């Protein structure tokens, strides 16, 4: 996604995105470590001797993985694609874009139309990037948009997994932290690009 969106603009923009993501995760990790201290017990695991697995075991494990994917992931992906197409074809995305215009224009320095693709990135990142490319954003805006997109969860299936594993309350906390981190990184980048120009 990053190279596809920024590769034609120059390698330094791609490096700016990767550098921002690395710095964001290090800073966020330190903050969360201070706010949510935990205990990391030492783990000693005895490694059994390696053996060549049987073809039957490999086939069974492969079958269970494929079956699980087909039963759980395919419906979610199809629903995500349907919702993304429905939202992009309806006037609803225009309404959301207008509502979020102050946030996108003020904090991120992006035109209001970018709200639609970035919000659709919650469902499908590839659709979001495909919608951003023809908007004629300048390189700084494209870096801000890509960083903001990259720092959000990859797809709707992630929300379902988090809900199932953590529960609704902790999933909403995770979403809040994700949105705060993505908007903060995008806002800082926008301010840096504004200072540089």
Quote the radius of gyration of the chain (alpha carbons, Å): 20
pLDDT in tens, 158-174: 777 788 788 888 888 88
149 is written with which tokens?
């997109």
Our measurement of the distance from residue 36's CA atom to the centroid of its chain's CA atoms, rounded to an integer in Å, reads 23
Q: What's the pTM value of the predicted model, to 2 decimals?
A: 0.73
CA distance 142 to 132: 8
State yes or no: pLDDT of 75 exceeds 70. yes
Residue 40 has a pLDDT of 66
Work out the pLDDT band at 154, boundaries 50, 70, 90: confident
Work out the pLDDT band at 20, boundaries 50, 70, 90: very high
42 is written with which tokens?
């030492």
Residue 72 has a pLDDT of 72
Between 159 and 27, the higher pLDDT residue = 27
Residue 39 has a pLDDT of 67
Between 95 and 191, the higher pLDDT residue = 191
Residue 137 has a pLDDT of 87
pLDDT in tens, 104-114: 888 889 888 88
Mean pLDDT of all residues in 65-88: 75
CA distance 117 to 130: 8
Residue 184 has a pLDDT of 92
State yes or no: pLDDT of 19 exceeds 90. yes
State yes or no: pLDDT of 23 exceeds 90. yes
- The domain limits of the chain are 2-17+55-196
178 contacts 153 by C-beta, under 8 angstroms: yes
């Amino acid at each position: 996604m990053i190279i596809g969106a920024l590769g034609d603009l120059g390698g330094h923009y791609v490096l700016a995105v990767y550098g921002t993501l690395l710095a964001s995760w290090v800073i966020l990790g330190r903050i969360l470590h201070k706010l949510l201290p935990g205990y990391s017990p030492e783990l000693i695991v005895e490694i059994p001797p390696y053996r060549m697995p049987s073809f039957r075991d490999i086939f069974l494990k492969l079958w269970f993985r494929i079956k699980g994917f087909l039963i759980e992931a395919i419906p979610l992906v199809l629903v995500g694609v349907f919702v993304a197409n429905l939202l992009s074809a309806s006037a609803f995305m225009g309404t959301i874009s207008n509502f979020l215009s102050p946030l996108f224009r003020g904090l991120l320095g992006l035109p209001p139309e970018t709200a639609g693709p970035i919000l659709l990135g919650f469902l499908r990142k590839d659709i979001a990037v495909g919608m951003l490319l023809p908007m004629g954003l300048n390189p700084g805006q494209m870096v801000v948009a890509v960083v903001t997109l990259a720092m959000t969860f990859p797809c709707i299936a992630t929300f379902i997994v988090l809900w199932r594993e953590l529960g609704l309350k902790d999933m909403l906390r995770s979403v809040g932290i994700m949105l705060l981190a993505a908007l903060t990184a995008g806002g800082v980048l926008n301010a840096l690009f504004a200072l540089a120009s």
